[in-house]
């Protein structure tokens, strides 16, 4: 296996939902400042794995987690850790673009405000900066005060990206972030990701193989709650070692 | 052929009959308003409405029917009840929707709902036996007011307890209507639960919360029995919360059917009833409209 500096490392992670064993003995490493794509058929536990990275699975009632998830070497399931710090460090982009019920400006400023930035000037600067990074500034700069819900779905997802970036995370998680978008908007989001990997570690869940091929530097193939294979994208796509990986990439199982 | 005809006939009769009954019950409110108005007209013919509403003098034998003390009594009791119940109900519903586990919720929710089933008269008795002495011996002395305990404060407190279940469940609905995504997004950005509640859920939904509260209180406004038992029922303009008052519903319940030989007395009481009905109607319809508009916007 290729050597790299892991940003997130998962060891023997087991997740139960009631009696249902959702994730089984997951051990993977997520490389820093690359795009890692988690692929696998629906219901294989991709989203659960993703949400275990920022402890958003804590919200699911009846879930139990064992094992280690380390971010920068820090065990995030350690009881002493402040969850809000972890979540600040790890941004998340949901499947469906979901603006908070407030203005465009307030959506982006929401995170910084939560973390104590209240000076108008500083907020203005942050909002402008991250709307630019998300490629939305030119389209909305004249109507920052209007409700975010008036934007198109593609614009909304870029707004969500800006909102995520505004808390200055190191890692960005995307849970099928283009699945609710039209092809053109989806393309734009993909391009954003490719540009962002200079500065961020990115983990994306997708069930679209072609998207995975376009984006991935590193691939994790998950099947029925288990990691079947993980490694550099080229190896996985061109020369998979496992029969099940081959079958999935060949379109035989879905 | 014959069978087909009778089937059809039955269908027509049944549907018409149901329509008629439904129409009658939905017209009931207008019939009531009209009936009350027709009866109350007599007193409106002798004095103008503003005069009746703003006069403080209530001397039926002299033909003076000033509603001001009663209106003020009603408003005061309601305001006090809001003051006691809104903060605790909001916090309870936030706890139940945002913090409590399913187990705790399943345990607490029925207990709160049970409060709604307690007969009003039992609340009244509890008020007399517990709250009245408490106010008289412990709370009023703190402020240096002598009181019998039968006063606005007691009435407001008892009423507050009575609206708990309604208020908790309507505000819980408002919070539950917040899509799960909002919660997730806010928490994923590193917000604490309380920050999430405050900034992402409460502030954008303040209208809904207010409407829910008003809806809860449109019932409290007309609550009669328990309040009547503890509020003292003295027809005066109260100058402090430790003084007795006489809310409109108590006035009607205590006096209608008695002393009806006094001219215009029943017209005056029916006017009071009409006022009460109209106020409650305006509040609850207004709140419903706001809530409806909010729901539509969210979808």
Q: Give the pLDDT score at B173.
A: 84
Is A100 in Cβ contact with B190 (below 8 Å)? no
Cα–Cα distance measured from residue B195 to residue B101, given in angstroms and rounded to the nearest whole number? 19
Higher pLDDT, A111 or A60: A111
pLDDT tens by residue, A174-225: 999 998 888 988 998 999 899 999 999 999 999 889 999 999 999 999 999 9
Q: What ipTM does this complex have?
A: 0.90
Strand order of the β-sheet with A20-31 is A20-31, A6-17, A63-71, A74-75
Cα–Cα distance measured from residue B234 to residue A53, given in angstroms and rounded to the nearest whole number? 66
Å from A237 to nearest chain B CA? 32
Is B192 in Cβ contact with A84 (below 8 Å)? yes
Q: Give the C-alpha distances (Å, rounded to integers) separating A18 from A8, A21, A36, A37, A223.
A: 26, 8, 29, 28, 20
Interface contact A94, partner B, CB < 8 A: yes
Could you tell me which residues come within 8 angstroms of residue B185 by beta carbon, excluding any fewer than 6 positions away?
A: A92, A94, A98, A100, A160, A163, B200
Cα–Cα distance measured from residue A2 to residue B206, given in angstroms and rounded to the nearest whole number? 54
Interface contact B184, partner A, CB < 8 A: yes
pLDDT tens by residue, A91-145: 999 888 999 989 999 999 999 999 999 999 999 999 999 999 998 999 999 999 9
* Max Cα distance, chain A (Å): 57
Cα–Cα distance measured from residue B81 to residue B84, given in angstroms and rounded to the nearest whole number? 5
Interface contact B282, partner A, CB < 8 A: no
pLDDT tens by residue, A223-250: 999 999 999 999 999 999 999 999 998 8
Which of B185, B206, B208 best probes binding to A when mutated, by most A CB atoms within 10 angstroms?
B185
Q: Give the C-alpha distances (Å, rounded to integers) separating A43 from A175, A225, A253, B90, B196.
A: 13, 8, 13, 38, 29
Phi, psi of A8 (to 5 degrees): -120, 130
Query: Which H or E element spans position A223?
Result: strand A218-223
User: Residues 211 to 250 of A: which have CB under 8 A from any B CB?
Assistant: none
Cα–Cα distance measured from residue A203 to residue B217, given in angstroms and rounded to the nearest whole number? 50
Q: Is the confidence at residue A48, as pLDDT, over 90? A: yes
Which of A111, A123, A164, A176 best probes binding to B when mutated, by most B CB atoms within 10 angstroms?
A111
Cα–Cα distance measured from residue A19 to residue B71, given in angstroms and rounded to the nearest whole number? 60
Work out whether the CA dihedral B98, B102, B108, B112 comes out positive or negative: positive
The DSSP code for B145 is: -
Which of B96, B184, B189, B191 best probes binding to A when mutated, by most A CB atoms within 10 angstroms?
B189
Q: Using an 8 Å Cβ cutoff, are A62 and A17 in contact?
A: yes
Cα–Cα distance measured from residue A229 to residue B244, given in angstroms and rounded to the nearest whole number? 78
pLDDT tens by residue, B248-265: 999 999 988 887 788 888
Interface contact A56, partner B, CB < 8 A: yes
What ranges in A46-93 are assigned the alpha helix state H? Answer: 46-53, 83-89
Which three-class secondary structure state does DSSP give residue A101? coil
Two tokens at B55?
């006069």
User: Which architecture does CATH list for A6-249?
Assistant: 3-Layer(aba) Sandwich (3.40)
Å from B232 to nearest chain A CA? 47
What are the boundaries of each domain within chain A?
6-249
Write out residues in chain B with pLDDT < 70, as ranges: 1, 294-299
Is A59 in Cβ contact with B185 (below 8 Å)? no
Is B20 exposed, middle or buried, given 0-12, 13-18 or 19+ CB atoms closer than 10 A?
Answer: exposed
The DSSP code for B97 is: I
Q: Give the pLDDT score at A3.
A: 66
Q: Using an 8 Å Cβ cutoff, are B246 and B233 in contact?
A: yes
Task: Find the CB nearest B185 among A61, A100, A115.
Answer: A100
Residue carrying structure tokens 């389209």: A139
Q: Give the pLDDT score at B1.
A: 61
Q: Give the pLDDT score at B299.
A: 41
Is A85 in Cβ contact with B199 (below 8 Å)? no
Q: Using an 8 Å Cβ cutoff, are A69 and A77 in contact?
A: yes
Q: Give the C-alpha distances (Å, rounded to integers) separating A229 from A9, A28, A130, A204.
A: 15, 9, 35, 16
Q: What angle do CA B102, A10, A76 make, to 5 degrees?
A: 55
């Amino acid at each position: 296996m290729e050597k790299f500096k892991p940003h997130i490392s998962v060891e023997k992670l087991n997740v139960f939902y009631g009696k249902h064993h959702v994730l089984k003995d997951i051990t993977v490493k997520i490389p820093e400042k690359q795009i890692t794509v988690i692929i696998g058929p629906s219901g294989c536990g991709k989203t659960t794995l993703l949400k275990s990275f920022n402890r958003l699975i804590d919200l699911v009632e009846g879930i139990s987690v064992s094992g280690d998830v380390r971010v920068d070497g820090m065990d995030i399931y350690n009881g002493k850790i402040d969850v809000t710090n972890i979540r600040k460090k790890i941004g998340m982009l949901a499947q469906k673009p979901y603006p908070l019920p407030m203005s465009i400006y307030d959506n982006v400023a929401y995170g910084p405000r939560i973390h104590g930035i209240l000076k108008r000037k500083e907020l203005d600067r942050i909002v402008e900066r991250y709307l630019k990074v998300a490629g939305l500034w030119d389209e909305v700069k004249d109507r920052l005060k209007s409700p975010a819900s008036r934007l198109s779905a593609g614009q909304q997802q870029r707004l969500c990206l800006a909102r995520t970036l505004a808390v200055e995370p190191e890692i960005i998680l995307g849970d099928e972030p283009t699945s609710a978008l039209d092809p053109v908007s989806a393309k734009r989001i993909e391009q954003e990701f490719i540009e962002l990997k200079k500065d961020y570690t990115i983990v994306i869940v997708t069930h679209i193989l072609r998207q995975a091929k376009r984006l991935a530097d590193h691939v994790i193939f998950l099947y029925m709650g288990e990691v079947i294979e993980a490694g550099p994208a080229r190896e996985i796509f061109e020369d998979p070692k496992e029969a099940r990986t081959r079958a999935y990439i060949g379109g035989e199982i879905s | 052929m014959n069978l087909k005809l009778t089937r059809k006939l039955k269908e027509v009769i049944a549907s018409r009959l149901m329509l008629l009954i439904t129409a009658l019950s939905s017209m009931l409110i207008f019939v009531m308003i009209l009936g009350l108005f027709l009866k109350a007209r007599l007193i409106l013919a002798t004095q103008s409405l503003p005069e009746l509403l703003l006069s403080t003098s209530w001397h039926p034998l002299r033909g003076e029917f000033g509603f001001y003390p009663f209106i003020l009594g009603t408003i005061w009791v309601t305001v006090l009840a809001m003051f006691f119940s809104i903060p605790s109900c909001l916090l309870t519903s936030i706890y139940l929707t945002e913090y409590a586990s399913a187990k705790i919720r399943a345990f607490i929710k029925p207990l709160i709902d049970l409060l709604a089933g307690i007969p009003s008269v039992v609340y009244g008795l509890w008020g007399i036996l517990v709250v009245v002495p408490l106010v008289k011996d412990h709370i009023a002395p703190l402020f240096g007011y002598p009181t019998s305990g039968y006063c606005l404060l007691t009435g407001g407190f008892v009423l507050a307890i009575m609206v708990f279940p309604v208020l908790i469940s309507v505000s819980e609905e408002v919070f539950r209507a917040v899509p799960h995504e909002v919660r997730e997004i806010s928490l994923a950005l590193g917000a604490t639960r309380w920050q999430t509640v405050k900034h992402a859920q409460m502030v954008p939904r303040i209208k809904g919360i207010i409407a829910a509260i008003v809806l809860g209180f449109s019932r409290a406004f007309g609550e009669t029995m328990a309040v009547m038992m503890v509020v003292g029922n003295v027809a005066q303009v109260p100058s402090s919360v430790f003084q007795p008052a006489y809310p409109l519903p108590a006035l009607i319940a205590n006096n209608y059917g008695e002393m009806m030989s006094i001219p215009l007395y029943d017209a005056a009481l029916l006017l009071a009833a009409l006022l009460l009905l109209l106020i409650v109607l305006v509040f609850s319809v207004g709140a419903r409209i706001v809530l409806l508009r909010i729901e539509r916007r969210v979808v």
